[in-house]
Amino acid sequence: MAQPIIKLENLNLWYDKGKPSEVWALKNINMEINKGEYVAFFGPSGCGKTTLLYTISGIDQAQEGKIFINGRDISNFSKKELAIYRQVGIGIVFQQFNLIPSLTVLNNVALPMAFLGISQEKRTIEALNLLDRLGIKDFAERYPYELSGGQQQRVGIARALANNPPIIVADEPLGNLDSVNAEKVLEFLKELNEKDGRTIIMVTHEAWSLRDAKKILYMKDGQILKSEESKPRTVAEAVSKHFYKELSPQLSQIEIAAQALSNLLLRGYSAEEIKRFEFFLFQRFSDKIDADTFRRVLDRPYQDGGIGLWKQKAAKIGQYVEEIIAERKTVEDVYKELEKNPESPLADEIEKIRLWLLQEYHGKISELQKIQFNEIISERLRSIISGEQFEKVLSLSKAKFGIGFSFRTAQRMSEKFESIINKNGNQIAIANK
């Protein structure tokens, strides 16, 4: 049997052990990754997936356990050995790009080769080849601040490949990208895996980005809950709510909404936890339990029949669900008005929905963006555009007459909006009057 390229044994990493502020970032991690695999660490923010990635990369050091890379335990490496390992053994793609602003794109990519003593001429040739492969050779003499987020991320990938490492690790590589650039990055990671035979490890909390991973490690509270070989069915069950109606035509509208919202709010949790949450969310949507009962269920330990969320998170999700219920009522009122008058402008209702969608957005938007946002909300309510088109317009750049949100922001706003839309068939009738 072939030796795994990565093997972790009884890995533990903690902060402030024995103090009131004690936090366990990783707990008893045991796992193997074979050469040429495409693996995803999947779980909610704060579950330990980035810490695990950084221990494999030699950036963070665990207090206990062993990390074997090609049969060698890097936890025993000296600082010099770790530096060499990070230069030639592994390539790291960061969410925030981490490019040096004072260096050109070409020099950012060539820099890792300089540490190995490679001549400037050869560094330049190799760096240009990498930039050409990623479709950004024309930007070689530009500086990072002159590039878009997607272009910077491709420079980051080129830099990670500079010394031809067999392992590429990517920490939330799509987090700051729009949909077009996110798609390009996913396609290139897939190419590195399938054509180059490189081992790919990606950290993500977005289910849709798991599509090319062959193995998914589900994480929560610093632990690996389970390891799953990815199949088309596995990913289809995890990804966007836009497909629920097609995948589950037998479900009622409330069941579809409960299923979609459960996967949105409990991303990274186990299938059993999500299913139980979905059951109680359906009860709340159906008005079979009240708001206080629903919050108590969220806070109650899992073994006692609850969901087992932290008290603060239980309160936050409970409040969010009540807002969803209130906004669904707003949308129902909108449809009643549209039935009476399909041309009704509904300015106040649309404004209310937009403000609700922007509640957790901390950026600034111009008056023109507000007007455009209101227009696409109106068009979505009238079924002039689909949910998919709504999301696309949110993520399109302002230069292309979109709203200009990042891909992740657009996706979450679209999911939030879809959770309150009443798809009872009246929309189509209204839109076609």
What's the DSSP call for residue 89?
I
More confident of the two residues 34 and 260? 34
Question: Which residues 6+ apart lie within 8 Å of 261 measured at CB?
Answer: 241, 281, 321, 324, 419
Q: Is a pLDDT exceeding 60 seen at residue 276?
A: yes
Mean pLDDT of the region 146-164: 92
Q: What is the pLDDT of residues 76-102, one digit of tens each?
A: 999 899 999 999 999 999 887 889 999
* 21: confidence class by pLDDT, cuts 50, 70, 90: low
More confident of the two residues 217 and 422? 217
How far apart, in whole angstroms, are the C-alpha atoms of residue 285 and residue 420? Answer: 11
How far apart, in whole angstroms, are the C-alpha atoms of residue 221 and residue 274? Answer: 16
What would the DSSP string read from start to end of 317-371?
Answer: HHHHHHHHHHHHHHHHHHHHHHHH-TT---HHHHHHHHHHHTTT--S---HHHHH
Ordered by where they begin, the domains of the chain are 6-238 (3.40.50.300), 241-431 (no CATH)
Q: Write down the pLDDT at residue 111.
A: 94
Q: How many residues belong to the chain?
A: 433
Q: Is a pLDDT exceeding 50 seen at residue 179?
A: yes
- Percent of the chain having pLDDT more than 70? 85
